[in-house]
Structure 1
Amino acid sequence: MTRLILALVLGLAAMTGRSDAESGPVYAVLDFEDLTGWAEDDHAAALEVFRNTCRDFDDPDWRSLCGFAEDTRDAKGFFELLFRPVMITDGADALFTGYFEPELRGSPYETETYRYPIYAMPPEAAETRPWFTRREILTSGVMQGRGLEIAWVDDPVELFFLQIQGSGRVRFPDGRTIRVGYGGFNGHPYRSIGKEMVRRGIYEAHQVSARVIRSWVRRNPLIGEELLYHNASYVFFREVSEVPADRGPPGAMNRSITAMRSIAVDPAYTPLGAPVWIEKQGDSPLNRLMIAQDTGSAIKGAQRADIFFGTGEVAGAEAGEVKDPGRMVVLLPIQRAYALLPEAVQ
């Protein structure tokens, strides 16, 4: 009987509906045949990443699926049998970007070379929203003499991009490496430096990338410093060196994320830990099952995702070039998927 019910549910045609609030997101339940390249993906690789965080679900629907995930040997069949693809839209165009785990040169102590601190979060910054701006944090002296420095690095531009990425590694002169992860922020919304450069007429929109921003700020250090203050948001860190070096940095679920299988999403639309099918267009199209295991202050919207490219300079170069359209489809447990639709179309 259970298999019959599942077959009937899976055989339903794609249906669409609007959420209860007329201005809310729109949901469309699709078939797996509607997903471009679905049959060709490595579903076993995606399932392995899914297992890494599925144990952290509190909801009974998800926890029961996690039990099946631990025992199944048919990854593709697992997703097709127990999930439905749900397209969630909010009126904004889809946008895929990339992020990575940078490695910075640093020191556990301040020196003439290493003089830019990576800060832990002050207690009052978590209690006051919003707290001081980026400019105030770096120029007012509010952080000095408090022992909040985790490490010191040699490049303020790389430190700025470390904050955008949210995690990274710091290599000391003796070869030792520590890892830092997101520890909170000052409560100010993220403001794009790239968009500000376009607004000021420095570059056209299609010219802007992380590499271009780095290069321009270094060539124009005084104006560049002022430009970086445009982003009032400031990210604090915590040391997470207990994560093995051969694994990815911890994401928002406090589990290691996986290169080219983990994405950052907006949890207001996409549940953390959920499988997400992405169809990224652009110069390097990508059709792949990813797992939503991270978030980001700039990742807002139902069709917004940041793809984790891995660790180091090569990953950073690849991630920095991604700014592509496409679509993302969330895989939800069957009952949860159809519960999103208005009664009239169920």
Structure 2
Amino acid sequence: MKAPRRIAARLCSATILLASVLLTGCAVQNARPGAAPASTYAKADWNALPAVSDTDLKAGFAAWRSACPRLKGDAAWAPLCVAAGHVDATPAAIRAFLQNSLDVYALRAAGNRTEGLITGYYEPIYAGSLTRTARATVPVYGVPADMVSVQLDSVYPELKGKRLRGRVEGRVLKPYDDAARIAAHGVNAPILAWLTDPMDLQFLQIQGSGRVQLDDGRHLRLAYADQNGHPYRPIGRWLVEQGELAKDAVSMDAIRAWASAHPTRVPELLASNPSYVFFAKGADGDEGPRGSLNVPLTAGYSVAVDRSVVPLGSLLWLSTTRPDGAALVRPVAAQDTGGAITGEVRADLFWGTGDAAGALAGHMKQSGRLWLLWPKGVALPSPGGG
């Protein structure tokens, strides 16, 4: 399961928690040396790519091209986006364009490993209310009025994309409240909606976006707005450490079942993850939620990546399997990020909205391979560059 983009956003890859004067938690864990490991991008041939169907080729290309309005200022992708606007929407024309415009690089992890972890996420729909009721008692908060966010690369360029979040007390900037304190004492922020189950709120935060189904049938869309600056720690890992679940048995369904069977321990479970996500009202409509690139995600063809390895807006070739073991090979667009999405051969596939998508996302923990399709004549990204 994924920690939201937008923790995802998304979190370790975008956030630093300051304790005293030290960088701690996920910021240190995700730090990468400035020199690019030789094995990260291994030049490959187009013929080395596993075959995809014409349908997947067209859908993957369309998903990537949907982000072109956001890539107008991107030196690597802007020229290619202009050219892509003139490509006929036929498999033959798309193949020719891609092969003439892009080089292929196999992504490899430490030890020259080509296999990595492919997971899934989705946009959930949870029952709730715009006002507190006897059933809907769990608040969904907007961004707190007293939370300060500092963009650190304005002073330290090497910390590009890193932010510090906290609260000013006197003349001191201190870390913002963790999830346990927020749950117990609330926060100085607008309440956007009320949910009926604290586990729904946790999974909403993990996914990074979602919808609240109101009694009158309408949906309120919620999008990631900010995060409290604390590192994301998977609640499934806590259950494993407590001996409550086996490692290979962890899934959203298993976690929910445990919570239902142990309602008095749910606060303890949720407190094991100090991260807390704040939301904003999203735009109405049937398009997918917006990812870190601020474009609607395409079900089955948008992925969250580690942006220190794969720049947002890139086109990838993915080879993995569905949870049922069926092959899944297709081009996908790197349009999102996630706190749990770190590493060279790592991606989180967006499955769509609702329970069916959630069932796929909740059981998606597959081995897979990735190839970066990179514009010809453009220098490769430097791993760790943010």
**TM-score of the aligned structures, taking structure 2 as reference length:** 0.77
Distance 1:39 1:317 in 2: 24
Residues 108 and 293 of structure 1: CA distance in aligned 2, closer, same or farther (over 3 Å) = same
- Structure 2 residue aligned with 1:237, among 257, 269, 279? 279
Distance 1:192 1:61 in 2: 35
- Structure 1 residue aligned with 2:78, among 54, 63, 80? 63
Q: Residue 273 in 1 paired to residue 273 in 2?
A: no
3-state SS of 2:291 partner? coil
Residues 23 and 111 of structure 1: CA distance in aligned 2, closer, same or farther (over 3 Å) = same
What whole-Å deviation, never above 9, does each CA across 1:78-126 have from its counterpart, x for those lacking one? 2111111222334276111110000011111111111101111114334
Bigger mean CA offset, 180-189 vs 90-99: 90-99
Amino acid at match of 1:55: P
What whole-Å deviation, never above 9, does each CA across 1:143-181 have from its counterpart, x for those lacking one? 1xx451001111111111010000001111111211011
Q: Hey, what does 2:5 align to over in structure 1? A: none
Amino acid at match of 1:67: V
Distance 1:321 1:114 in 2: 28
Quote the offset at 1:284 in angstroms: 3.2
Q: Hey, what does 1:138 align to over in structure 2? A: 183
Q: Which structure dedicates a bigger proportion of its chain to helix?
A: 1
Check the 8 A contact 1:53/1:273 in 2, yes or no: yes
Distance 2:74 2:135 in 1: 50
Distance 1:339 1:190 in 2: 26
What whole-Å deviation, never above 9, does each CA across 1:267-303 have from its counterpart, x for those lacking one? 1111111111111146233111110111111111121
3-state SS of 2:290 partner? coil
Q: Hey, what does 2:94 align to over in structure 1? A: 75
Distance 2:281 2:327 in 1: 35
Q: Hey, what does 1:37 align to over in structure 2? A: 51
Q: Residue 312 in 1 paired to residue 358 in 2?
A: no
Check the 8 A contact 2:309/2:382 in 1, yes or no: no
- Structure 1 residue aligned with 2:302, among 262, 278, 302? 262
- Structure 1 residue aligned with 2:288, among 248, 252, 264? 248
Q: Which structure dedicates a bigger proportion of its chain to strand?
A: 2
Q: Hey, what does 2:42 align to over in structure 1? A: 28
- Structure 1 residue aligned with 2:131, among 86, 104, 109? 109
Q: Hey, what does 2:62 align to over in structure 1? A: 48
Query: Relative contact order: is structure 1 or structure 2 higher (C-alpha 8 Å, sep ≥ 6)?
Result: 2
Amino acid at match of 1:72: V
The structure whose Rg is larger is 1
What whole-Å deviation, never above 9, does each CA across 1:115-141 have from its counterpart, x for those lacking one? 101111114334334421110111134
Q: Hey, what does 1:121 align to over in structure 2? A: 143
Check the 8 A contact 2:61/2:331 in 1, yes or no: no
Residues 339 and 195 of structure 1: CA distance in aligned 2, closer, same or farther (over 3 Å) = closer
Quote the offset at 1:340 in angstroms: 6.7
Distance 1:220 1:20 in 2: 46
Bigger mean CA offset, 180-189 vs 40-49: 40-49
Distance 2:226 2:85 in 1: 33
Distance 2:234 2:271 in 1: 11
- Structure 2 residue aligned with 1:327, among 369, 373, 376? 369
Check the 8 A contact 2:102/2:374 in 1, yes or no: yes
Check the 8 A contact 2:225/2:277 in 1, yes or no: yes
Check the 8 A contact 1:94/1:327 in 2, yes or no: yes
Bigger mean CA offset, 103-112 vs 32-41: 32-41
3-state SS of 1:77 partner? helix
Q: Over the residues paired in the alignment, what is the CA RMSD in angstroms? A: 2.1
What whole-Å deviation, never above 9, does each CA across 1:190-239 have from its counterpart, x for those lacking one? 11112222222222211111110111111101112211211111111100
Q: What runs of 5+ residues in structure 1 fail to find an aligned partner?
A: 1-18, 342-346
Distance 1:22 1:52 in 2: 30
Amino acid at match of 1:116: V
User: What is the percentage of aligned positions where both structures have the same residue?
Assistant: 37
Q: What runs of 5+ residues in structure 2 fail to find an aligned partner?
A: 1-32, 150-164, 167-174
Distance 1:32 1:329 in 2: 10
**TM-score of the aligned structures, taking structure 1 as reference length:** 0.86
Distance 1:313 1:38 in 2: 27
Residues 340 and 81 of structure 1: CA distance in aligned 2, closer, same or farther (over 3 Å) = farther
Q: Hey, what does 1:209 align to over in structure 2? A: 251
